[in-house]
Structure 1
Amino acid sequence: MKNRKSRKPAKKLTLQSLALGCTVLAAVLAGAWVLFPTEIEKAMQQFPQVVGLEQKPAQETSPLPILKQEQKTETAALSTQSGEELPGSIQLPSAATQPALPAPTGADKPAAPPMTCSQATGSLRNFVEGLEKKDYLQDFKLKQPVRKHLEGLKDKLAAKPPTVVRETDDLYTVIANTAHFFRVLGKDNIRLLKTLLEHEQGGLENLANALYAASVGPDCQADTVQLPFSMAYDYSVFFLNTIGGRSYLFRRAARVRLLINYYALLLIDEAANRNLNTHGTDISGLIQPLIQEIEATNQLARKEEYVNRLRELAERHPVR
C-alpha cells in the first residue's frame, strides 16, 4: 500500500514539470520575438529550406504558342489574298468549296406573276378537255360534251343569282339562299359537281387561279368556261356576306372553302378598285381571320403566296 501511494505524486510531478517547461519556452520565444524581430523573421524564411520543403518557383507561360498561332493566322491571310499556298499555311475554304445555301422557302419565295388572259384561257381549255376523258364522269351519261354541259350550268347560275342584300328581311329568303344551288341546278348536277371536286383536288388551286384571272382580265374573252366579272362579284358577296352562302361553304372541304373565300376577297377588292362594289360590301373584318385559317392549314400548296396577298389587302382595307 505504501508503494502505490508513493508512485502517484511522481506522475503528477512529471506532468507539472512538462507544463512548466512549455510555459517557460513560450515566454522565451515571445521575448525573443519582441527583442529581435528581424532575426526571427529571417530564421522563419529559412526554415523550409532547412527541413527540405523548398517550393519550386511557378513556371511562366511561354508566349511561343500564342506567337505561333498569330503567325499561322497571318500566313493564312496572306495565302488567301495571293491565291497561292504558302509553306505551313492554313488553307481557308474558298467560295467554290463552301456548301451552297438552301433555296429560299416559305415567305422568302417570290410571288408568282399574275396569270394572263391567254394563260387562263389555255389552262381552262386543257382542264375541260381533260374532263372528257375522265372515267368517273361517264357514269353520269351526259347528253352533250362536258364543256357544253358546264357552260349550261354557268348560264343557269347567271340567270338566277342569289339574294345578297337584305337577306334576313324574311325567313323565305334565308332558306332560298341556303338551298340556292340545289334549286337552280338540281340534284343530279349537284352530285356531278361534288364528284368533280372530289376527284380534282390536286388541280383545284390552278383551276381557281385560272377562273379568277379569266374573270378580272380586261376584255378576256375565253372560248371555254368563264365567269363574267359581274357574276363572279355577285357570288363573291353571296359566299362572304350571306347566311346561305356561308352555310354552303361550311359544308365543303377545307381546301374548297379557303380557296373560295380567298378569291372572293380578291374579286370584291377588284370591284372596289373599279368603283363597281355596288353592294357596298366591307371586307376589312374578313381578311385577318382568313389569314389565320390559311396559315394553320396544310391543304394549300401556295399558302404563303395567299397570305402575302391578303396582308396587302389588309393594308388597303384597315379594320374600322
Structure 2
Amino acid sequence: MKKPSRLPWLIFLALLVIGLGSGYYFYSHRQPPHQHRAAIQTAVEDEHPASGAQLEEPSTPQEPAKIDESEAETPEPPETEEPSNNATAQPDPCEVLFSRLQNYFEYLDGTEYFQRLSPDVSAYERLKVILKKLIKHPPVPAEEASDPRILLANLHHFFRTLKAQDLRLASEILTNEPDSMEDTFDMLFSWLMLPAPCADPDSIRPSFQVTYTYAAFFVNTVGGRAYLFRRTPSVRVVVQYYALMVIYEADKRKNNTYGVDLLPLLTPLRNEISRFDDLIFQQQYLTNLDRIEYEYRRLR
C-alpha cells in the first residue's frame, strides 16, 4: 500500500507563510510614519542594545518623550509641600513642658496669697533660689540607725535648708490649689526627669542623682516620712508614688546607690492609693505599681 503524499500539506504550509508575511508587510506600510520608525527602533534596540544618543530621533511637538520631559520639569504644586512643612513645625516637647512650668508660676504670681507672702519676688525666681539651696544641701537618705546626727539632720532638713517664708509659701500652695495638685506634681516630675540638654535655660533643674537622693529621703528615712505625714493624706501618697517612680528609674539605670528595696514598699502604697477615689490619676498610679511589682517579683 502506497503512503499518502506529503505534497498537499507542504503547499498549504507555504501558502500560509506567504499570506502572513504579506499581511504584515501591508499592515506595517499603513502605519503612520512615526509609529513605523518607533516599531523599527524598538526591534533594533531589542536585538542590539545601544546608547540612547545613538537611537534618539529629533524631538517633535508630537513626540511622547518631549511631553514626559516637560511634565518632569514642572514644579511641585504648593499643596503637596504643606504636609512636610507642618511636620517640621511640630513643637519641641521639652519646650512645651518648660512653657507649662512657666505658665504655672505666672498663675501663682497672680494669686492673692502669693502676692501677700512674696510681693517682690516672682514664683519662678523663688523656685530658682529654693532649688539651688536644696541642690547644695541634700539630705542623707541612709545610716540613720548608725548615726544619730544623720537622723536629727534629716528630721530638720527642710527647716534648716529653706527659709520660713519658703516653707509657708509651699504650704499655702498645697492648701489653696488642691484641685491642681496632681497635675502640678505630674508636671514637676516630668520636668525633673527630662534629659540634661532639655528645656533648662537657667540651668536650675537638679541632676538625676539629686532627685534620686530626695526620693530615697522621702521613703527611706524617718525624717522624710515624718515630713510627709505632716501633709494631707492625698499629698502624702502622691509624693510617695513619684518617689517610688524615681527610685524605679534609678534601678533601671543601675544607679540605686542607696540600695532602696522597692518591693516591700509597693503593696502598702497601692493599698493606700486604692482608698482615695478622689484622686484623678488613681487608676494610672495603681496600674504602674502593679506592673512594677510584677516585674520585681518575676526577677526574684
Sort the TM-score into its range (normalised by shorter chain). Answer: 0.5 to 0.7
Contact 1:158–1:231 (CA<8 Å) still a contact in 2? Answer: yes
Alignment gaps of 5+ in structure 2? 1-92
Correspondence for 2:236: 257
Correspondence for 2:33: none
Question: Is residue 179 from structure 1 mapped to residue 153 from structure 2 by the alignment?
Answer: no
Correspondence for 1:188: 165
What is the DSSP-based 3-state SS (H/G/I as helix, E as strand, rest coil) of the residue aligned with 2:265?
A: helix
What is the DSSP-based 3-state SS (H/G/I as helix, E as strand, rest coil) of the residue aligned with 1:169?
A: coil
Correspondence for 2:141: 164
Correspondence for 1:38: none
Question: Is residue 232 from structure 1 mapped to residue 211 from structure 2 by the alignment?
Answer: yes
Distance 1:152 1:216 in 2: 20
- Counterpart residue type for residue 186 of structure 1: K
Question: Is residue 213 from structure 1 mapped to residue 196 from structure 2 by the alignment?
Answer: no
- Counterpart residue type for residue 121 of structure 1: F
Aligned residues: 206
Distance 1:262 1:118 in 2: 26
Contact 1:117–1:213 (CA<8 Å) still a contact in 2? Answer: no
Report the CA distance between 1:223 and its aligned residue.
Answer: 4.0
Correspondence for 1:304: 283
Correspondence for 1:152: 129
Contact 1:249–1:257 (CA<8 Å) still a contact in 2? Answer: yes
Q: Deviations over 1:80-118 (max 9, x none)?
A: xxxxxxxxxxxxxxxxxxxxxxxxxxxxxxxxxxxx534
Of the structure 1 ranges 116-125 and 221-230, higher mean CA displacement relative to structure 2 is found in 221-230
Compared CA separation, residues 204 and 163, structure 1 to 2 (3 A): same
Correspondence for 2:22: none
Displaced runs of 4 or more, over 4 A? none
Contact 1:121–1:214 (CA<8 Å) still a contact in 2? Answer: yes
- Counterpart residue type for residue 262 of structure 2: I
Normalised TM-score (structure 2): 0.64
What is the DSSP-based 3-state SS (H/G/I as helix, E as strand, rest coil) of the residue aligned with 2:256?
A: coil
Q: How does 1:64-103 map to 2 (within 5 A)?
A: none
Alignment gaps of 5+ in structure 1? 1-115
Q: Deviations over 1:52-104 (max 9, x none)?
A: xxxxxxxxxxxxxxxxxxxxxxxxxxxxxxxxxxxxxxxxxxxxxxxxxxxxx
Question: Is residue 137 from structure 1 mapped to residue 147 from structure 2 by the alignment?
Answer: no
Contact 1:214–1:222 (CA<8 Å) still a contact in 2? Answer: no
Compared CA separation, residues 141 and 120, structure 1 to 2 (3 A): closer
Contact 1:214–1:227 (CA<8 Å) still a contact in 2? Answer: no
Distance 1:161 1:142 in 2: 28
Q: Deviations over 1:22-69 (max 9, x none)?
A: xxxxxxxxxxxxxxxxxxxxxxxxxxxxxxxxxxxxxxxxxxxxxxxx
Contact 1:163–1:173 (CA<8 Å) still a contact in 2? Answer: yes
Report the CA distance between 1:309 and its aligned residue.
Answer: 0.7
Q: Deviations over 1:293-312 (max 9, x none)?
A: 11111341110111001111
Compared CA separation, residues 300 and 133, structure 1 to 2 (3 A): same
- Counterpart residue type for residue 221 of structure 1: A
Aligned residues: percent identity?
Answer: 33
Contact 1:295–1:303 (CA<8 Å) still a contact in 2? Answer: yes
Contact 2:95–2:199 (CA<8 Å) still a contact in 1? Answer: no
